[in-house]
Amino acid sequence: MLLFYLSMIDNEDDRNWLSKVYTDYKPWMLKTAYNYIKHTEDSKDVVHEIFLRMSRNIKSVPRNPITLKVYLETAIRNVCYTIT
């Protein structure tokens, strides 16, 4: 799936950054989404949707690790509420 997200991005630095975010944060994102909706497959859909959104709007995603985690937490919560 990572290759799909990366294919949507033109800039090599942005691709490298998203790849790092994917490997570093995906397990945490899955656990967080599961805590909201208590369904494994839906949790995967939530994380997929967030990475799609990030790929489309890569320039607006915060790069600071603290701000990024808050951004991801908010995105997870919002997508979970949309799905349920």
Q: Is 43 exposed, middle or buried (0-12, 13-18, 19+ CB in 10 A)?
A: buried
Q: Would you state the pLDDT for residue 67?
A: 98
Q: Is 47 exposed, middle or buried (0-12, 13-18, 19+ CB in 10 A)?
A: buried
- What contacts 30, CB < 8 A, 6 or more positions away? 43, 44, 47
Instruction: At 80, list the tokens.
Output: 């979970």
pLDDT, tens digit only, all 84 positions of the chain: 999 999 999 999 999 999 999 999 999 999 999 999 999 999 999 999 999 999 999 999 999 999 999 999 999 999 999 987
Instruction: At 60, list the tokens.
Output: 């607006």
